[in-house]
Every structure is written in structure tokens, then in C-alpha cells.
Amino acid sequence: MLQRTYARVLTLAGSRYATWWLALIAFAEASFFPIPPDALLIPMALAKPRHARRFAAVCTAASVTGGALGYLIGYAVFDQVARPILDVYGYGAAYAAFQAKFQEYGLWIILIKGLTPIPYKIVTIAAGAARFEFAVFMAASVLTRGARFFLVATLLHFFGDSVRDFIERRLTLVTSALAAAIVGGFVALKLM
């Protein structure tokens, strides 16, 4: 099943609308969508290694723009949506401590978490909810998301064929490692 899905994504990655899909997924993932843009960026860069950096630029711009929407969600509707849930579970004091921590270490949280597999929407919504300075948030987002996507694109540009062969032979290992990284990211987020 994974091989069929991988083949379909590679086919989509080669379509003439792939760049639009990449932008849409990167935008949505930064604010509300669960699937990371890497799911399309990687096969697109593998299908067209010469365009990998252009795909990374599209991914970065769309992700940062989507991050602004995530920030707005945290800033504008957090009190109406999330705060009542936190209060029901008795996490009001913990949230206040989180806000204080985010104000103190927010830039580092954005820079570190933006590079990890932790869903970026958690960072964007948290930044808005903590009322973190928007200009600093956007600058850090451009830096961290750009670094992440351009690193992936550069590696795929230079090592595309060997990476493609590895993924095709070890797809289960790759997806398991990605899942472990995501879980590890969530654990690290809880510890902060």
C-alpha cells in the first residue's frame, strides 16, 4: 500500500499543478492541516531535482503566509475555542506559565521547532496565543522554514537519485523514522 501511495504522490509531483498543490499544503499545514508539505516537496524535488530550490522557495513563502494565519487563529480565537477546554481540564495555570515562557524564550522556540518535524501549526498558534511580537515571529518563521525546506531541497538536488533509490527500497524504514521523529518532537514540546 505504501508503494502505491508513494507512486501516486510521485505522479502528482510531476503534474503541471504540483506547485500549486505544494503551496496550498504548505499554507494549510502552518495553520490547521495535518499533512506536512514535505510529503509533496520531497517527491517533487526527486521528480525534478533542478527545480528543487524553486519548490523550497514556494514551500517557504506559503508556509510563512500560512503561519500568519495560524498566528491570527491563536491571537484572535484562542480565548473562544481553546481557553474553555483548558479551564475544563484545569490547565489554566499551566497555560499562564506557558505564555510567560513563550514571551521569554519565544524566538528560540520558533527557531528550534520550525526546523523539527513538530507540526508548525502548534508553533504558529502558540505564538499568537502568547501575543508574541508579530514582526519577530514572521522573521524567525522565514529563517527557520526557509532553512528547513532549502536544506531538504539542496540534499535532494545533489543526492536525488541515491535518495530516491533509498526511499523506494526502504520506504517503511523512512516512514517509521519520520513517525518516530514526530513523536519525539511532541515529547520535546511537552518537556519545554
Q: 111-149: per-residue pLDDT in tens?
A: 777 766 567 888 888 889 888 999 999 999 998 899 888
Whole-model pTM: value is: 0.72
Q: What is the DSSP letter of 141?
A: H
Quote the pLDDT of residue 7: 63
Q: Which uninterrupted H or E stretch holds 87?
A: helix 78-88
Condensed to tens digits (0 to 9), the pLDDT of residues 59-101 reads: 999 999 999 998 998 899 888 877 776 677 676 777 777 777 7
DSSP three-state, residue 72 = helix
Q: How many other C-beta atoms lie within 10 A of the C-beta of residue 130? A: 22
The residues spanned by each domain of the chain are 2-191
Q: CA angle 106-55-161, nearest 5°? A: 115
Sign of CA dihedral 18, 23, 29, 33: negative
For the stretch 166-175, pLDDT in tens is 655 665 565 5
pLDDT of 45 strictly over 80: yes
